[in-house]
Amino acid sequence: MNDNNSLDPKGTMLEFGYREELKRSLTFSDLLIYGIIFMVPIAPFAIYGYVASISNGMVALVYLFGMVGMFFTALSYSHLSKVFPIAGSIYSYAQRGINEDIGFFAGWLILLDYILIPALLYLVSATALHNMFPFLPKAIWLLVFLSFNTVINILGIEITAKTNKIIVFLEFTVLLVFIAVGLFAISTHINNAQFSILPLYNSNKFSISLITSATSIAVLSFIGFDAISTLTEEVKGQKTAVGKAILISIPVVGIMFIVQTWIAALIVPDYTSFKHIDSAFFEIAQIAGGNWLKGIMSIATALAWGIANALVAQAAISRILFSMARDRKLPSILAKIHPKYQTPYISTILSALITLTIILSGTTIDDLASLVNFGALSSFLILHLTVINYFIIRKKSKEFFNHLILPLVGLFIILYVWMNLGTLAKELGFIWVTIGIIYMIVMRLLNKEGFINKNNS
């Protein structure tokens, strides 16, 4: 007999009108590692220069602000993952917590996030490796990363989880090496470095609008914790595992971000002195430890973004596509499960083809990053509203602190950061929303079965 926290897979899936199709093999530690990998423990390496220049050097404060903001969003994910333990993430939550149409747009927005993330990651990685090995064209690296990740994801989530454990160990090792070398550099006053609180707070340069503007870029490092919820139907054991993994992943990775950027800012306090803003962190590594440290960090960044992060990103988008196709919001072929590996292989292959198309179109890294943030932050706004609507309005919950106050705090933080997104991000984002509206109207006019109302829980 199961206790209240135990999963009853068949009963759970039947309750929501689905069959048990995906293989349940993931544990809490697998989910936690998955979320950490997606956020990339060394993510600030790649965007440090941009965050430092916008925040006037208060990079650690930016990541602290981002961590707090994302934690409130993680709380909302945790609440909804318990009552809707199915794949689909914010799409499934909003669909059942508000209504079908809002659910569709939540899924449409998160698709923008997840579809573009792999392309962004591959471009960053290929560019980094091309700079180190200019005799090899970017296209070679792109095809290697894309092919490797697609095969791994089709073979099964267990293979992905095992690969994640190896990669996260290597990332932690590189990060610890940088921290150790960095602290030694500060203690020996290399480049006149000395301990200071200025990277966390500089009263002479502080501005809340300045910090939130920088956070709208740094938040890219945090995006990915929500992908844990896309694996709900592949979890064995406790049904609270998804929520716990989401909540723990944010402070774990956030503290790593704060420590590494604080050390970096102390080694080179003049954030205007970098030769190239996109390689600022690697310049810091060279000052602290020499060319060997710069080389290790460059390769680690390329592999972390191109394999580790892209691997889990592709797994996440395939589950979103699978979930929406299962509900006939997208072509039903995307819901096909591999007979041997029990993975949504058609969705996985499609996501790879979309990524390849985006890369070949010549889209820039800046454009991709802007659109990723628009999709993620917009869907987070819907997430908080879903918690309030489902628990307070529909279920008449009396837990006002958990189901009203905390979601409202998260909502206003995300909204404030969203407002500081660049103009291009908003323009392109609203074009995506318009396409979604047209798609929904066409589906209804053609009398498709994609918007049949389901019984809400």
Give the separation between CA 250 and CA 266, rounded to whole angstroms: 24
Give the separation between CA 349 and CA 355, rounded to whole angstroms: 10
Which residues sit opposite 237 in a β-bridge? none
Residue 249 CB neighbours (<10 A): 27
pLDDT for 261 equals 95
Low-confidence ranges of the chain (pLDDT < 70): 1-14, 16-18, 131, 157-158, 160-161, 164, 237-238, 362-367, 447-457
SS3 137: coil
Look at the chain and count its residues: 457
Instruction: Say how far residue 274 (Cα) sits from the centre of its chain.
Output: 28
Q: Note the helical H segments in 304-451.
A: 310-326, 345-360, 365-387, 400, 406-419, 423-445
Give the separation between CA 271 and CA 60, rounded to whole angstroms: 13
**Residue 143 burial (C-beta neighbours within 10 Å; 0-12, 13-18, 19+):** middle
DSSP code of residue 207: -
pLDDT for 6 equals 57
Tokens read off for 368 = 């991709």
Tell me how far CA of residue 315 lies from CA of 154, 171, 194, 225, in angstroms.
Answer: 9, 20, 43, 13
Give the separation between CA 394 and CA 396, rounded to whole angstroms: 6
Q: pLDDT tens-digit profile of 299-343?
A: 888 877 787 778 777 877 788 788 888 887 788 898 888 888 888
pLDDT for 344 equals 86
pLDDT for 363 equals 67
Give the separation between CA 383 and CA 370, rounded to whole angstroms: 20
Please provide residue 436's backbone torsions phi and psi, each rounded to the nearest 5 degrees: -65, -40
Tell me how far CA of residue 98 lies from CA of 74, 382, 403, in angstroms.
Answer: 19, 9, 14
Tokens read off for 336 = 């096909």
Q: What helix, strand, coil percent values describe the chain, rounded to 5?
A: 75, 0, 25
Class of domain 22-445: mainly alpha
Give per-residue burial for 304-328: e unless 16+ CB within 10 Å, then b.
Answer: bbbbbbbbbbbbbbbbbbbbbbbbe
Tokens read off for 150 = 């697609």
pLDDT for 171 equals 83
Q: pLDDT tens-digit profile of 150-203?
A: 888 888 766 766 776 787 788 889 999 999 999 999 999 999 889 999 999 999
pLDDT for 1 equals 39
pLDDT for 394 equals 95
User: Are 37 and 250 in contact, with CB atoms under 8 Å apart?
Assistant: no
Domain segments of the chain as ranges: 22-445
Tokens read off for 112 = 């923008």
pLDDT for 451 equals 45
pLDDT for 399 equals 94
DSSP code of residue 26: B
User: Are 303 and 141 in contact, with CB atoms under 8 Å apart?
Assistant: no
pLDDT for 381 equals 95
Tokens read off for 380 = 């987070």
Between the CA atoms of 312, 315, 320 and 324, what dihedral angle is there, to the nearest 10 degrees? 180
pLDDT for 12 equals 62
Amino acid at 54: I
| Residues 6+ positions from 287 with CB-CB distance below 8 Å | 185, 190, 191, 267, 268
Please provide residue 6's backbone torsions phi and psi, each rounded to the nearest 5 degrees: -85, 145
Amino acid at 246: I
Rg, Å, the chain Cα set: 22
DSSP code of residue 215: H
Residue 386: closest CA among 419, 410, 416? 410
User: Are 374 and 112 in contact, with CB atoms under 8 Å apart?
Assistant: yes
Angle at 57 between CA 52 and CA 61, to 5 degrees: 90
| Residues 6+ positions from 253 with CB-CB distance below 8 Å | 35, 36, 39, 41, 221, 222, 225
